[in-house]
Amino acid sequence: MKVIRVPGEMTAWAKEQAANGKNIGLVPTMGFFHEGHLSLMRMARTHAERVIVSLFVNPLQFGPNEDLAAYPRDFERDGRLAEQEGVDVLFAPSVDDMYPDGFQTTVSVSTITGHLCGANRPGHFDGVATVLTKLFHVTGADCAVFGEKDYQQLAVIRRMVTDLNADIEIIGHPIVRHKDGLAMSSRNAYLDAAERETALCLSGSIALARSKAEAGMTDTGELTRLVRDFILSFRGTEIDYASFVDCRTLEPAGRLDDNTLLALAVKINGRVRLIDNGLVLEDNESADEGWAE
């Protein structure tokens, strides 16, 4: 596996591959790999002859009071894991190379970023859309794989690619979970043992909504109250949002239907913000990897 740090070198390598008729799959990440990231790398391999994993903790997508400085990092371990997955290039640029002096362009997607994380993290999706536009250009990727764990991010990127006629296929990957249901996340590293238990309120509330829906409850107002009460019954939880939305538009859902998604962002002990989501009516548990094994 090659490690490339300079954007120009990344582009030169990608052009050489394209000239040799090889198509390129990209997996954008912020590192501190877990099985979720590794599954995305495997999926990229099934779509592309060359796989690039980018590792860049993007300052543009962190708010002033967020965890940019504390974000977990372990470059050596990430390199070993990516290599074991047969990744061709680990692209790990510096902040200065991505945003040199004089940088002044922002890519901004509007309506779909107005909900959920977009409403709670001003500027977050501008940072995401801007860095991904750069990564798509630098790598010349034919396809890119994203996890449904960051459901809104996937929706925003699909919108951006359509709106800008970007010649890249966006591929979604189901959420990868620990056996007890917790969605894998680099931020789980912040949790102590008690908080790790508390974190089960997210996947637990998706399971709760599914069981109530199965029992015939279709009013999302009533379901929202149940889910909120459930989450708040865990010590130290604070709800950023717990919303039933249409999975295509992310607009609030009235009555449940096949497109209703429960999207969650919960802070634990004011420190660790976790997100999760799931379709309520579809038997999504079989689509999510690892749930209730």
Q: Note the residues at the interface with ligand AMP (CB under 6 A).
A: 29-30, 36-37, 40, 146-147, 149-150, 173, 175-176, 183-186
Question: What is the radius of gyration, based on Cα positions, of the chain?
Answer: 19
Tokens representing residue 164 in the block: 């800008």
d(CA 162, CA 174): 21
Displacement of CA 247 from its chain's centroid (Å): 15
**Closest by alpha carbon to 166, among 107, 220, 80, 93?**
107
CA distance 84 to 145: 18
Token couple for 211: 């069981």
- Which of 221, 262, 266, 263 shows the shortest CA–CA distance to 239? 266
Whether the Cβ atoms of residue 57 and residue 84 lie closer than 8 Å to each other = no
User: Does the active-site annotation cover 124?
Assistant: no
Residues 268 and 195: beta-carbon distance below 8 Å: yes
